Amino acid sequence: MSQELSENLTRVAADVAELRTRVHSRIVGQEAVVDGLITCLVAGGHGLFVGVPGLAKTLLVSTVAEATGLDFARIQFTPDLMPADILGSEVLEEHDGRRSFRFIQGPVFAQLVLADEINRTPPKTQAALLQAMQERKVSVAGKNHDLGRPFHVFATQNPIEQEGTYPLPEAQLDRFLMQLQVNYPSQEEEIRIAALTQADLEVPVDPVWSPERLVQIQNLVGQVAVDQGLVESAVTLVRQSRPGADAPELVRDYLRWGAGPRASQFLVHAARARALMHGRPAADMSDLRASAPSVLGHRLIPNFRAESEGLTGAVLAQRLIA
């Protein structure tokens, strides 16, 4: 390992620790969710946050935007939202007697986009984010508009309400690097939350990163070593999630569809990012095991038997890893 890489690893670990501290100055508990969110940032991916209302999902994302200095845009997804409300549209203007079209950018042209309650809008509008999330560009009126780097979409979803909601299609779920389950706080944490005042939540969070620093960190992920055995373990795990004659009994009994090849790529990349966050030059099996539930959970499609027994994709992913 070169001296330069060693210094970069030490600095990244310190930066990540400082970012955690800044976020927890406003967010109580939720350590696993915060770590998952930072992993998404470091890996350059997108995150889906699932949890009941009132668990500070929106506050968490906006706090991270402040702490990283990223340009932030929040889109409240509603049943009447249209694709143009997200992407932007062309308007006809007249200047010096000549008419021309001018493109007005939508809120997706931000470095960190919060898609709040993404399942409350119809599939037509949900699909407006597909190209942006995969290719970092959008096509409007036959023209491509680049989004640049960094670019992240963090979406929230309420798992309880079913009326007036539209489940995300598998193609869109597959574009999220991780799905993070936001659970209720412990009693001690909830006491601390109840004691907070509005003034406490409005205290500014000084940025500890910058967009340029985030891109530098993301460029370092590829320098984290991954041996062939770890890659094969990731691929084996993903392939075992697909129902078939040679699949584990758990998979044959409870899954309709398993994860695709993108899951293998994301799993290895998330393991690299997690190792980098801890200042290590190589990813190991602990990084793979820690990342796998969040990477695989939303890519496993349970069958009717699993749904009748209350088994979600995340639960089945945990059992498959075990």
Residues 6+ apart with CB under 8 A from 162: none
pLDDT in tens, 262-271: 999 999 999 9
pLDDT at 287 over 70: yes
Token pair recorded at residue 66: 């402040």
In DSSP terms, 143 is beta-bridged to 140
Q: Lowest mean pLDDT: which of 95-109, 140-154, 287-301?
A: 95-109
Where is pLDDT greater, at 274 or 301?
A: 274
CA 7 to chain centre: 28
Query: What's the pTM value of the predicted model, to 2 decimals?
Result: 0.86
Cα 265 to Cα 225: distance, rounded to the nearest angstrom: 14
Label residue 277 by pLDDT band (50, 70, 90).
very high
What domains can be seen in the chain, in order of their start residue? Answer: 1-221 (3.40.50.300), 224-322 (1.10.8.80)
What amino acid is encoded at 166 in this protein?
Y
pLDDT classification of 85: cutoffs 50, 70, 90: confident
Q: Give me the chain's average pLDDT, please.
A: 85
State the average pLDDT over residues 241-248. Answer: 78
Structure confidence at residue 176 as a pLDDT band (50, 70, 90)? very high
Question: Of the candidates 185, 156, 180, which has an alpha carbon nearest to the alpha carbon of residue 32?
Answer: 180
State mean pLDDT over 117-133: 86
**Share of residues in the chain with pLDDT > 70 (%):** 98
pLDDT of residue 161: 65
* pLDDT tops 70 at residue 103: yes
Mean pLDDT of 109-136: 87
CA 92 to chain centre: 36
DSSP annotation of 127 reads G
Inter-CA distances, 224 with 5, 40, 151, 217, 308, Å: 9, 16, 22, 11, 42
For residues 1-23, average pLDDT? 84
Q: Give CA angle at 297 (224, 127), nearest 5°.
A: 95
Per-residue burial over 152-187, b = 16 or more CB atoms within 10 Å of its CB, e = otherwise: bbbbbbbeeeeeebbebeeebbbbbbbbbbbeebee
